[in-house]
A = this chain, B = another copy of it.
């Protein structure tokens, strides 16, 4: 989908809310709408005015990459430049700003510089971004394939005795060798009792034998992200962890089967949550089932008990139940999934049987 078409859809959404223009300050949203890549820019999007403002550091790059919008190079005074652009639009045009990401201080200054009030909006571009077009799905599919191959490289060698940080770094190198720009988030390698912490940082500690290792990684590829978790054994883990693995995998596959266009996100979350609770691990799954993935590794929709999102064809989401047993270890199994009218299309390709145990190979 062209950037101009994305801008057109945003304008349709704006007009449905009684607005004529939106100041887009969130950089991922700016990228989505215009193609701009960098650290200092904003856009003003209206039916007859599409403007990308950045500074001299990005002048050449912006002129080469921005589509569907005029590029204005300012003096690193984005709020002043936006204020001027809003004045050019005329005082009668109802204009909004992104209240969910713009700070209170910047909002106050922007209104001062524009000499007018702006309407708070939330999630307008996020709602567009949640449904991927074919080009986006292809990039995410490629990112998922990169992560599959990177994980396979690492699992072809030993884990025991290497530190978590070494393994994480070699995963990073493998992601890059397979074509990623970078990991899409800090890689998690959490073994033994550290696996009981869902967001453990890789430790400078060796991975022990006879336990589970949670490995959560993703590739950043031409702006798009992937996200996948596998949990592998190092020999013969404690029986409670083996049971947790089997319960988690059943819950994950049940939830996957519930993914389809028109399903309520909260219901998909509930499928996994009920399965885990029914097997006695109800307190051990303290996070949501999943989230959308795209330009950001966490975006709409949310699959969690408080979500009001509905799944739609073209969404790309994670399905990642976990079971965490303090002092013992953890399990998380996560696939990246494209939502279709007919059900889930799983983009993650790594195997899900418990590998590393009793000689089961990757």
From 269 to 299 in chain A, residues with beta carbon under 8 angstroms from any chain B beta carbon are 286-287
**A182 cross-chain contacts in B, Cβ below 8 A:** 186
A348 to B210, CA, bound (A): 45
CB contacts (< 8 Å) of A100 on chain B: these are 103-106
* Chain B residues, Cβ within 8 Å of A169: 173, 176
Minimum C-beta distance from A162 to chain B (A): 14
Asked if A56 is an interface residue, CB under 8 A from chain B, the answer is yes
A254 interfacial contact with B, CB 8 Å: no
B residues in contact with A243, CB < 8 Å: none
Closest CB in chain B relative to A196 CB, distance in Å: 8
Majority secondary structure of chain A interface residues (helix, strand, loop or mixed): mixed
Known contacts A57-B287, A199-B57, A101 near B99 by CB under 8 Å: no
What residues of B have a CB within 8 angstroms of the CB of A39 in the complex? 199
Shortest distance from the beta carbon of A214 to any chain B beta carbon, whole Å = 13
Chain B residue at smallest Cβ distance from A39: B199
> Which of B37, B58, B99 is the one whose CB lies under 8 Å from A105?
B99
Are A197 and B57 in contact, CB atoms less than 8 angstroms apart?
A: yes
Q: Does A38 contact B (CB under 8 A)?
A: yes
How far apart are the CA atoms of A99 and B103 in the complex, in Å?
6
Chain A contact residues (Cβ within 8 angstroms of B): what range? 35 or more
Looking at the assembled complex, report how far the CB atom of A175 sits from the nearest CB atom of chain B, in whole angstroms: 10
Q: Is the CB of B105 within 8 A of A122?
A: yes
A166 to B, closest residue via Cβ: B176
- CB of A60 closer than 8 Å to a CB of B: yes
Please tell me if A120 contacts chain B, counting CB pairs below 8 Å.
yes
A286 engages B57 (CB within 8 Å):
yes
Cβ of A126 within 8 Å of any chain B Cβ, yes or no, is: no
Task: Kindly identify, within residues 154 to 196 of chain A, every residue whose CB is under 8 Å from any CB belonging to chain B.
Answer: 165, 169, 172-173, 176, 182, 186, 196
Would B60 and A197 count as touching, CB distance under 8 A? Answer: yes
Partner of A61, one of B56, B97, B173, B197: B197
Task: Check: A153 CB closer than 8 A to any chain B CB.
Answer: no
Give the docked Cα–Cα distance between A60 and B122 (Å): 34
Asked if A102 lies at the interface with its beta carbon under 8 angstroms from chain B, I say yes
Instruction: Return the chain B residue nearest A101 by Cβ.
Output: B103
| Nearest Cβ on chain B to A223's Cβ, whole angstroms | 11
- Set B56, B106, B120: member contacting A286, Cβ < 8 A: B56
User: In the complex, which of the residues B99, B286, B326 contacts A104, with contact meaning CB atoms closer than 8 Å?
Assistant: B99
> Max chain B CB contacts within 10 Å: which of A39, A107, A199?
A199
17 A-B pairs whose Cβ atoms sit less than 8 Å apart in the complex: A38-B199, A39-B199, A57-B198, A57-B287, A58-B197, A60-B196, A60-B326, A99-B103, A100-B103, A100-B105, A101-B103, A103-B104, A104-B107, A104-B120, A105-B122, A108-B120, A169-B176
Q: Chain A: residues with CB nearer than 8 A to chain B?
A: 37-39, 55-58, 60-61, 97, 99-108, 120, 122, 165, 169, 172-173, 176, 182, 186, 196-201, 286-287, 326
